[in-house]
Structure 1
Amino acid sequence: MSVVNPSVVELLRKALSSNASVNLPGDPDYSNKRWARNAEKTAAIVTHPSTAEDVAQIIAFAQGKSPYDAQPKLDLAIKGGGHAPSGASSSEGGVVIDLNPKMHHVRVDPNTKLAYIQGGALWEEVDEATFPHGMLYRLASVSGVVSHTGVGGLILGGGFGWLCSQYGLVIDNLVQATVVTSLGEILTASDSQNSDLFWAIRGGGANFGVVTEFVLKLHEQRSELWGGILMYPPTALDQLVPEINSWLSERTPVENIHLLFTLGPTGQPMVGTQIVYNGDADTGAKKFERFVKLGPLVTNLGPIPYLELNRMQNPFAQHGSYRMLQGNFIPSVPTGLPIEIVSGLFSLWLNTVTEHQVASSSTFVLELYHPGAYSSVPKEATAYAHRAPTYNIAYLMNWSDPIWTEQSIPTVLALDKEFIKLRDAHFSPELVGEGGYINYQDAESRKAGSSRRFGSHFPRLVEIKRQYDPENLFGKWFALPTKP
């Protein structure tokens, strides 16, 4: 158990701004709650900074640096939205910098179409702040697909979402960030200032410091979209996949689908399509009527207010369960999705939830975003190495019995291993590409795998890591090596 020096804690309290707080177990504002219950740990101290300067002080405290020399070094974790099931935002007996309570504000400049977003904000707060601006069209950012996700983790890992087909990943819309390093420096990172750090945080994860502010481009956005969900029996896959492939061959960047596998209310396997058309209702209904003609068991399509768009997947991602997340890629090719892969994935998922009843609420998602915008960005432009035209897949494991927690990781990694065999039998390595969307690699983040995840960018990321975080203070998530 870590040793906390009470007198040094008081010194820290006095050094922080008036709105910041330092919370010990038993204090009213102490909390270790996370999206995934298996990520919850008992920290010795939970801090709520209010400024970048507060963050710098807490970093110095955790390292036992002046004026906190009497405090032995403590483990440090950074929490934004707290969505990492691996526990990267938690610390057992250490210090947590929780940005969300006091650093979640969003400021919008409608003239420059920029949003200044504090590091602890959630995506729903970004949507609610940006959308009131504009006249005929409102303003919106590329964002995640679950509204209670934190902005920080999603951005630093790349950032896919419903609008990425039109405007690229969230990192492709990042113009500036404020980063507090392990050395206590408060740096502006952009194309013109600390450009190496700016390159690294766009896909290199939380390896380099605490980002206290992101500046994102905003885009004009309709107030209302069209879409919803269709649910089919598994027997529909033989018709559904060819129809999806026909749609893929002619769709535009404003048309997107998520294909999902889940169990219905009575435990029956279901295949779903979440549909989003960023246009008018009449056109959307015509473009997607092919899927309605297949006779879904559930049809829920219609106009969607933009502010509801990023809440569509919330029912599949509520707080309170034990969770683990792992993902991979399927190449986007002119011939579309091989039916053997989709059917094989369904069987792998169904076998998993059937064999492990405790995890029967686990779901599978295949994100069929139009890859044109994000795959056209040069690979060397950002640390995110995987610019090949591909589709993300994600296995979201949910379970209720904590006893199964240790089994969750080998289970989901075994599922992924079988998928890789299935995929690689159909596609060559150059189509699969390199690196990966590390926000969907949470199970893998617990073991060595950084070089594979970051691809050919790994050596440069290591070099930048050694410059800004030489002691690996920020090493809880795909940690980069700091020693030769």
Structure 2
Amino acid sequence: MPTIDLSALSLLREALSPKGSIHLPGDTEYSNKRWAVNAEKSAAAVAWPATPNDVAQILTFAQGRAPYTAQTRLHVAVKGGGHTPSGASSSDGGLVIDLQPRMGGVRVDPAEMLAYVGGGALWQDVDEATTPHGLASVSGTVGHTGVGGSLILASLNIGSLTLGGGFGWLTGNHGLVIDNLMQATVVTSSGNILTASGSENPDLFWAVRGGGGNFGVVTEFVLKIHPQNPEVFTSTITFLPESLDKLVPEINAWLLERTSSEIVYIVFASPPGGQPVVLLQFVYIGEPDTGRQKFERFTQLEAINVQTDVIPYIKLNHMNDAFSGHGLYRMLQGNFVPDIPEGLPAPFVSSLLSAWVRFITEHPAATSSIVALELHHHGKISSIPPDATAYAHRNSAHNVMFIITWLDPSFNEHARAATLELNQAFTLSREKHFPSELVNQGGYTNYMDEESRGYNKDFTQR
């Protein structure tokens, strides 16, 4: 395994900016903590860059290029929020570039409706910077997810929410995060610092909008931001599984009438010590009173619990923290469900529920796992020409996400196979209940592991 050459390391430390630093195991600042415990690996060194030039120097060092020729080539991983459960933002014996400590700042230009977001920022940092101005960015749905991204270098393979597309609560009104990306500063593996925008390096700009973290370390995003109501209406209704037959037709009626400001998530969950339940989450990002009226249709159904609330917009991205906290073993898998005029076939939703119940029954270590079906309004996404960005899925579709969660490390060796078996059951049901021409759409990159990801065929042409 390659080691850190101390003479080359000394040269690197001299080349870094005053706030840039590099830390070895045993240093107070050294950390391998990640969102998923199974993603934690022991790096030989952790670098905290403070400038794009710091990133360029660190990449040069990791490749053993002049003036760091004494250093053997190192595996490099780049960490923004550390949310990749595959471990792609970690390195076993290599070098981690951690953008969060020194490159996580956010600057807002309210007059130009732009946010300048450091590659290490979390989405909660963006919310905290934009909300005082009555503005908001399209973002993820979990506040402690990282905004930023990275590259492939040697065996490095890392994505980010933004570079993979970026669904969020504001997607219905404003599209994906990448549809609101105006510019990015990218440090390439060769150490070049490039601006990617519609007028500079347009091919790179095309690629980073949906191509994942495959083209360089993004040290800054410039995002379009939008006026946002300071409060939003939210609700969560808990149903028993046998209520699904009545719930699905009501959801399908809602799908025909919904506006771009409405979002529904259907979640299969199993409370600790309890029986499986179906949760319906409803969010309305416009005027709360209007949201309450639109939500009424779901209260007519027999439920075991109904919670409604009007919350500050800044708290919206913390609504699902109970499902997404740190410190557990995790695996993600995702796929698409075609959005057809008839809505969701009830037998399909029922079969997905049955597959999940079978999964948690056969694997009791993973009973805290959930399945989420995300029903975002797709009009804004589909309005972007399919060849305008590297994001390959402009057709109207819903996301389904499996968040596999467990505490017992003995399940580690079984987790991937069990997750893929669950996904296979989903795939077979989708093929059975949807037109064949619509079912071969892959899945949302940010919800998939590296081996399951598809690639836009236009990559090779560009």
Cα distance in 1 between the residues matched to 2:437 and 2:460:
21
Q: Does 1:12 align with 2:12?
A: yes
Q: Does 1:157 align with 2:157?
A: no
**Residue 107 (structure 2) aligns with:** 107
The one-letter amino acid paired with 2:410 is I
Contact 1:52 1:186 in 2 (8 A): yes
Q: Does 1:174 align with 2:170?
A: no
Matches within 5 A, 1:311-330: 311-330=318-337
- Offset, 1:295: 2.7
**Residue 84 (structure 2) aligns with:** 84
**Residue 74 (structure 1) aligns with:** 74
Q: Does 1:144 align with 2:151?
A: no
- Offset, 1:2: 1.9
The one-character-per-residue Cα deviations of 1:63-107 (angstroms, maximum 9, x if unpaired) are: 000110010000000000000000110001000000001100000
Equivalent residue of 1:381, what SS?
Answer: coil
Cα distance in 1 between the residues matched to 2:440 and 2:114:
32
- Offset, 1:284: 1.6
Matches within 5 A, 1:28-427: 28-133=28-133, 138-152=134-148, 153-427=160-434
Which of 89-98 and 264-273 deviates more?
264-273
Residue ranges of structure 2 left out of the alignment (5+ in a row)? 149-159
**Residue 154 (structure 2) aligns with:** none
TM score, norm. by length of structure 2:
0.96
Contact 1:178 1:211 in 2 (8 A): yes
Contact 1:436 1:454 in 2 (8 A): no
- Offset, 1:228: 2.1
Residue ranges of structure 1 left out of the alignment (5+ in a row)? 464-484
> How many aligned positions are there?
451
- Offset, 1:430: 3.0
- Offset, 1:405: 1.3
Contact 1:234 1:271 in 2 (8 A): yes
The one-letter amino acid paired with 1:261 is F
TM score, norm. by length of structure 1:
0.92
Cα distance in 2 between the residues matched to 1:7 and 1:284:
62
Equivalent residue of 1:379, what SS?
Answer: coil
Equivalent residue of 1:249, what SS?
Answer: helix
- Offset, 1:428: 2.5
Cα distance in 1 between the residues matched to 2:204 and 2:121:
22
Q: Does 1:459 align with 2:460?
A: yes
- Seen in structure 2, the aligned counterparts of structure 1 residues 194 and 429 have a Cα distance that, compared at 3 Å, is farther
**Residue 470 (structure 1) aligns with:** none
Cα distance in 2 between the residues matched to 1:280 and 1:92:
49
- Offset, 1:406: 2.3
Contact 2:32 2:41 in 1 (8 A): yes
Percent of counterpart pairs with the same letter?
56
Cα distance in 1 between the residues matched to 2:25 and 2:93:
10
**Residue 152 (structure 2) aligns with:** none
Contact 1:117 1:213 in 2 (8 A): yes
Cα distance in 1 between the residues matched to 2:85 and 2:103:
22
Q: CA RMSD in A?
A: 1.1
Contact 2:12 2:57 in 1 (8 A): yes
Contact 1:226 1:303 in 2 (8 A): yes
The one-letter amino acid paired with 2:244 is L
Cα distance in 1 between the residues matched to 2:430 and 2:326:
32
